[in-house]
Amino acid sequence: ECPALAIDMKLDTKEQSIIKLQNAINSAKNISLKMEIPVHILFATGDFEYKKANDLYSAQSLIPNTYFKSLNGNGGIGYHNSDFSFIASALLYSSNYGVPGGFVGAHPKGTDIKLERNTQTVKSLVHTHSFIDNVIVSFNRTYYHHAEFEKSGAVGAEFLVKNYFGNINFNLDKFSFFNEMVVGVSGEFTDQKYGGYVFTPNSRLSNFSAYSYQSFEIGKHSIELSSRFVHSFVDPQDETKYSKNPPRDRVFNCFSFSILVMHYINKKTSLGLNFSRSERPPTVEELYSNGPHLAAYSYEIGNRDLEPELGYSAELSANYNTDGLNLSISLYDNEFFNYIFPTNTGKLNYSQLLPIYQISNTKARIIGGSIKFTYEFIENFSTNFMASYLRGYNLTEHKNLPTMPPLKGKLELSYSKTNFFATLATDFTTYQRLIGDFESVTPG
């Protein structure tokens, strides 16, 4: 039986331990509250959390302007019975924090950042008890505001985003050889505005998409199919005030699909093969940026003539699972006919001493793999190993792709019992020599 009102203000043991470790390097406070109120077929839920931390201490001294304060909460009310469900909810998040200075360019004296994000969502589900099992309709509005204040009080960068998104999904009942089938449509409108030293034009984005998903089984094979078509329109505002490389309206039509085949050798072992086509329109920043990106300590120049990013990928995976052993391995190959990325030009913007990055496109290949291994070798003792590797090729210029991580992984040894747990872990990264133009090698 659920209690009529349940309030939980306790943190679990692991989170308490983490907070105590954090308190060793700063003074912090954390308060959280959660409640659930079911009343017959009606219900209400809500949670609230407040965090505050003062400037960090290093082994040598105080690090100024590293404070942090956040407030977040959400609540919802709903109705549920066998034929109809409805929920209306709202989420609020606000945060103030400092970024220390000392870097050449960007924020030499540090900066203070304030951001706010709130979302309102309405969602309903109707059971039709027909060929269409149920229909899900949802709509949400998201507001996001981000401002960076220099020590002089001036606004260094400002972003304001208003997003409206709605979709309708039709979940079809099992028929013929299909176990599950979903078709749907969605619409989205986004108004993006920029201020301070951000020289991306205010823009409005509209897109419409239609999508589908099917799954079925043939013998020991499970097959999943999905597809998506997106029509996108980008409308930059105040084009006439840009004398050099003015932005222009862009229209994109993108189609993506995926096919997954799983072969079950037995109850413990399976093999998977996934093949997909992925196409996405370039972002507003990739199209129209022409100024400093202070968070990345770079000066970025967009490309208004970019075409959608297009690539094909194949992934082979193997899985083995028993009560005490879980092993998964995957290998993949991504072939891009048009890969969009920022490339370092080797030039410097002397007004702010920032390296200039140009948004570019190229034919590219990204290959790699990953492994995950968990084994309980003695009761209550287990080991967990994870590793992944990427290799990026710029096929047009016969170079390495920039910003590719080297081989990296994590090894853990854990002991857990009802009221006690302990973990010993190490992260590792290998030496990275396969770097792009104007990049520096990184040690392991």
Give the DSSP letter of residue 241: G
State yes or no: pLDDT of 16 exceeds 70. Answer: no
What is the token pair recorded at 133? 């099992």
The predicted pLDDT at position 129 comes to 82
pLDDT tens for residues 288-317? 888 777 666 788 888 999 999 999 999 999
Q: Do 203 and 239 touch, CB atoms closer than 8 A?
A: no
Highest mean pLDDT range out of 35-39, 60-64, 219-223? 219-223
> Band of the pLDDT at 103, cuts 50, 70, 90?
low
Residues 374-380 have a mean pLDDT of: 89
Tokens representing residue 123 in the block = 């969602």
The Cα 25–Cα 55 span in angstroms is 9
Q: Answer yes or no: is pLDDT of 23 > 70.
A: no
Tell me the pLDDT band of 105, cut-offs 50, 70 and 90: low
Which pLDDT band, with edges at 50, 70 and 90, does 1 fall under? very low
Averaged pLDDT score across all residues of the chain: 87
pLDDT at res. 107: 64
Separation CA 72–CA 94 (nearest Å): 6
CB atoms within 10 A of CB 213: 17
Q: Which of 76-80, 192-196, 326-330 has the highest mean pLDDT?
A: 326-330
Q: Helix or strand or coil: residue 15?
A: helix
Q: How far apart are CA 272 and CA 260, in angstroms?
A: 7
Determine the average pLDDT of the residues in 114-143.
93
Structure tokens at 377: 């070798």
Confidence check: pLDDT of 335 > 80? yes
- According to the model, what pLDDT value does residue 28 have? 82
The reported pLDDT for the residue numbered 192 is 93
Q: What are 244's two structure tokens?
A: 């050099």
In order of 13, 73, 88, 256, the CA distances from 76 in angstroms are 28, 11, 5, 34
Q: Is the confidence at residue 14, as pLDDT, over 60? A: no
Q: What is the DSSP letter of 62?
A: B
- The pLDDT assigned to 418 comes to 84
**How many whole angstroms separate alpha carbon 57 and alpha carbon 25?**
5
Helix (H, G, I), strand (E, B) or coil at 20: helix
Lowest mean pLDDT among 127-131, 195-199, 255-259: 195-199
Enumerate the β-bridge partners of residue 381: 378, 415
Tokens 């043939």: give the residue.
218
pLDDT at 337 over 70: yes
Q: What percent of the chain has pLDDT over 70?
A: 90
Work out the average pLDDT over 108-127.
Answer: 91
pLDDT for 115: 93
Q: Rounded to whole angstroms, how far apart are CA atoms 29 and 23?
A: 9
Instruction: List the Cα angle 105/106/112 in 5-degree steps.
Output: 140
pLDDT band at residue 4 under the 50/70/90 scheme: very low
The 10s digit of each residue's pLDDT in 386-415 is 999 999 999 999 999 998 999 999 999 999
Residue 319 or 129, more confident:
319
Mean pLDDT of 83-109: 83
User: How many Å is the maximal CA-CA distance in the chain?
Assistant: 71
Q: Distances from the Cα of 381 to the Cαs of 17, 18, 365, 414, in angstroms?
A: 20, 21, 41, 6
